[in-house]
Amino acid sequence: MDAKLLEKKLLKSEKIKDLLKIKKNYSGDENCFNFLPAEIKEKFGIVDTLNVSSHQYDYYALKLIQKYQNGLILDCGAGKRSDYIHNVVNFEVVNYDSTDVLGVAEDLPFKDESFDAVFSLNVLEHVRDPFRCAREISRVLKKGGELYCVVPFLSPYHDYPDHYYNMTSSGLKNLFQGNLQIVKQDVISSGLPIFALTWILNSWVEGLKDPEVKNKFMEMKVKELISPPTEYLNERFVKDLTLNKNFELGATTAIWARKSN
């Protein structure tokens, strides 16, 4: 780890210690507070990965970072941050070099009313119990504190540690209503419908291995793709997709189950 980053982390760790519900020894080897013992990882489906999730903060997040530059913000599911910011606590299930605290969002290791603001940016679809996570986020916010939360709606399946839930605007509101006052709901520029459309089409093309079928599909016009769906069921560009690709892009998913005797 870069020496300057380590120095910044050590300085921030002193602030974090005061927020923790359970005092654990800071480990210089892990360079973060670790609340992910093996039993917790197993319970919440956390597995070791080489996956790297790294994104830049958008306008709305940067505005809150500036507003609370003398306070503390929890980035709940921060990923790997290229900019290590002094007033943002990076909470993760992966020990990136920028991670401050390891743990699961359903059981945040912080005291009540610890943070001036909380970010949850494209994270709640990846937790097993988003309702519990939402309650935890609400709990650690100070009175008057602010939440900035983004979740996918029509985005295809994408995983780590898994992808459990997409949400409508009503579903997202339902997670926090009752614990927090909902100030505003919107679709930000990076979540406009065009992102869902291009993601689905590009992934569909990627799933067609026969060059002839792929080229034929790519040459189709929009007006050729908006007939009733049942008219396309026997087309090869529909039939040739694998089960994994159907899980990723499907309009619905189904399950069959049986209770043990």
Q: What is the pLDDT, as a whole number, of residue 30?
A: 62
- Residue 155 neighbours by CB under 8 Å, 6+ apart: 166, 195, 196, 199
Residue 61 CA to its chain's centroid (Å): 15
Distance between CA atoms of 61 and 63, rounded to whole angstroms? 5
Name residue 239's amino acid: K
Task: For each of the domains in the chain, give its residue range(s) and CATH number, in order of start.
Answer: 3-189 (3.40.50), 193-249 (no CATH)
Of the candidates 252, 191, 239, the one whose C-alpha atom is nearest the C-alpha of residue 213 is 239
Q: How many CB atoms lie within 10 A of CB 254?
A: 5
Alpha-carbon distance of 67 to 137, in angstroms, equals 19
This prediction's pTM? 0.90
What tens digit of pLDDT does each residue of 200-257 get?
A: 999 999 999 999 999 999 999 999 999 999 999 999 999 999 999 999 999 988 888 7
Which of 90, 94, 70 has its CA nearest to residue 82? Answer: 90
Computed from CA positions of residues 60, 65, 66, 68, in that sequence, does the dihedral angle turn out positive or negative? Answer: positive
* pLDDT digit string, tens, across residues 116-159: 999 999 999 999 999 999 999 999 999 999 999 999 999 999 88
Answer whether 140's CB lies under 8 Å from 114's CB: yes
Closest residue by Cα to residue 72 from 85, 83, 87, 93:
87
